[in-house]
Amino acid sequence: MNIIAIDIGNTNITIGLFLDGKEQFIKSIPGSSRAELVSCLESAWQKVPIAENSKEKKRDGAIVVSSVKPAWTELITNIVRDSLGEKIYIIGKDIPLPMPTWLDEPDKAGTDRILSAAAAYAVVEDAVVIADFGTAVTIDLVDEHGVFQGGVICPGFEISAKALKENTAQLPNVKVTKPQGPYGKNTADAINCGLYYSVIGALEEVIRRYAEQIGKWPQTVITGTDAETIKDDCAFIDNFVPHLVVKGVVLAYQKYIEEKAASEL
């Protein structure tokens, strides 16, 4: 199975190349960098082998996308069509979600959340919490039967810092990093501590409440751009896995291919 797996987020577009199911590379690119996106996709597609017995020399692979930003879905669609002469397959539209959900409005849940959850559950095979630290912070629960139950959504570091800057007269904009201590000696450090520790505290509290709901403490996996910033101060998490959504895209496509093959027997 050869696949270019693409995770379109609110800030970055992450592209992963998998040949025979094995990861070759995963790269995050700002969605505004069209030239870099074109270069990365062209380079990745050239590595996909030509299909056997293909008279048209078509490559034996697929380009599969998860997206939370429709404008960038159109951007990637156009790049893939114009530069590669191919089409994309969209998770939730062309390819089913790889996990059942128990939600009020399942069609409105971000596919990135469910793909991350499916990738985590495929490894844990038990109740698991998936926390994704990006533009927004999502903390989701999968039960022991592999059903996506839902979760919480909070503002990410950048959004929170921007809100403080824009809604006060004198507070500066701060890029959140791991603090040197539990409190700041100046305004910028105080904001940094506040945003940093509030997210860690929220994560631990949400997991505790999930544990009370399901009767046991679930394993916890964190992912996303800002997850690496906080992971060393989260003794209650089990794993930090970069690019979990991309791995969920691969899982969804693999399940789709297997189910399609089985239905044709």
State pLDDT tens for residues 187-218.
Answer: 999 999 999 999 999 999 999 999 999 999 99
Q: Which long-range contacts (CB under 8 A, 24 or more apart) does 119-128 make?
A: 119/241, 119/244, 119/245, 119/247, 119/248, 119/251, 120/221, 120/241, 120/244, 121/146, 122/251, 124/219, 124/221, 126/218, 126/219, 127/214, 127/216, 127/218, 127/219, 128/218, 128/219, 128/220, 128/221
Question: Does residue 112 carry a catalytic annotation?
Answer: yes
Mean pLDDT taken over the chain:
95
Annotated catalytic residue within 82, 94, 112, 126: 112
pLDDT bracket for residue 127 (50, 70, 90): very high
Residue 99 has pLDDT above 90, yes or no: yes
| Of 126, 124, 90, 68, the residue nearest 239 (C-alpha) | 124
Residue 263 has pLDDT above 90, yes or no: no
143 CB contacts (<8 Å, ≥6 apart)? Answer: 127, 149, 214
pTM of the model: 0.92
